Every structure is written in structure tokens, then in C-alpha cells.
């Protein structure tokens, strides 16, 4: 499952990503939002 912040340039798909986990609930959106994958999520693969 992917998620992103509405004001971010990247999306996240790894629950161990500290960047992705720090998105405030009010800013969090489901899906990729047409954005590129977060570098940290990519490293965690």
C-alpha cells in the first residue's frame, strides 16, 4: 500500500520508512499521487 503527503514530491511504500511515518494524519493521502518513490523507501527494498 502506498501513501504520500499532499504537499510532498514523493510517495512511500515501506512501513519502516521514518520519513513516511512522520507524515501528519491530516496531510496523509493514499496512493502514489503520481509522485516518485521516496529514496529511503527505495533503499529499504
- Where residue 32 falls (left for φ over 0; alpha for ψ -120 to 50; beta otherwise) is alpha
Task: Say what the alpha-carbon torsion angle 11, 12, 18, 24 is, to the nearest 10 degrees.
Answer: 60
Q: H/E element holding 45?
A: none
Q: What is the pLDDT of residue 32?
A: 98
pLDDT in tens, 7-43: 999 999 999 999 999 999 999 999 999 999 999 999 9
Q: What is the pLDDT of residue 33?
A: 98
pTM (2 d.p.)? 0.92
| Residue 41, number of CB atoms within 10 A of its CB | 19
Tracing cell 507524515 back to the chain, one arrives at 23
Q: What is the pLDDT of residue 17?
A: 98
Q: What is the pLDDT of residue 24?
A: 96
End-to-end alpha carbon distance in the chain: 14
Q: What is the pLDDT of residue 3?
A: 98
Amino acid at each position: 500500500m502506498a501513501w504520500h503527503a499532499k504537499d510532498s514530491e514523493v510517495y512511500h511504500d515501506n512501513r519502516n520508512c521514518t520519513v513516511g511515518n512522520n507524515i501528519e494524519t491530516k496531510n496523509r493521502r493514499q496512493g502514489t499521487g503520481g509522485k516518485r518513490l521516496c529514496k529511503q523507501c527505495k533503499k529499504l527494498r
